[in-house]
Amino acid sequence: MRHALVRGVGPAEAARYALTSANGGPTGVVDGTRPRAGGTMLRLPGAGRYARGLGRAALALDFPAARTVLLEAVEALGIVATWDDVARPVLAAVARRWATTGAGVEIEHLLSQSVAAVFSAHVVAQSGETDGRPVLLAGMPHEQHTLPLLVLAAALGHRGVAVQPMGTDLPCVALVAAVRRTAPAAVVLWSQLPDTADVALLDALPETRPRSRMFVAGPGWPEVGLPARVQPLASLVEAVDALVTAAR
């Protein structure tokens, strides 16, 4: 029954599915029944069945179910679509719920951990199948929200691009040292909020030979005047295309 519920089927249909499965009958009810529009506490208008299933699993604080839905979505849709059409809408809905009610931080944490677990596994799985100069991915100093960089790392791995993930809150001195020592093909710096979008750090990044392309990503950057050599990335699709080109 839980298997059906997290895939967007209503309780009555899920119960019929469970009974049919237990009796050895066909289980097509999960895909053949019209799914409900979403959970009673999480608004996901227009969402597909994977997003609805992920929302239900998150509300139930069911980590195995959330992970299973994400794994199935990646298999069916790919890395980029799973982030854009499944994980990101649910994360946004949880954030709106928290902003409205002040409750649900535990839901956001479980959901983030589920996303991180699935995409981290894909980064590791692809690490031995890439070559060339890596793309260095890092959060700005004091930046704690870098889940999209993990998704980007997984997407680049699937395109055969080596990645060098540096995690969150990387100090300026450490970032400069990493760029100088590795001369990556490209550097991507993530900022969630304007407070962490530090232009002075961009100016401090060293010139390397071979040259490293410089990019920024995240909602903290749009209002910041960027140096001419730094290119903003507005979406995951744009980021993957630009970084694949930079790594060639």
Q: Which domains does the chain have, with CATH numbers?
A: 2-123 (1.10.1240.10), 130-247 (3.40.50.280)
In DSSP terms, 190 is beta-bridged to 139, 217
pTM (predicted TM-score):
0.79
State how far the Cα of 143 lies from the Cα of 192, in Å rounded to an integer. 7
4-15 pLDDT, tens digit per residue, is 555 555 444 555
131-183 pLDDT, tens digit per residue, is 678 999 999 999 988 899 999 999 998 898 999 999 888 899 999 999 999 89
Number of residues that make up the chain: 248
Please, which residues have CB within 8 angstroms of residue 188's CB and are 6 or more apart in sequence? 135, 136, 137, 138, 149, 152, 215, 216, 217, 233, 239, 243
Using an 8 Å Cβ cutoff, are 184 and 199 in contact? no
105-126 helix and 63-77 helix, angle to the nearest 10 degrees: 50
Question: What pLDDT does residue 111 have?
Answer: 94
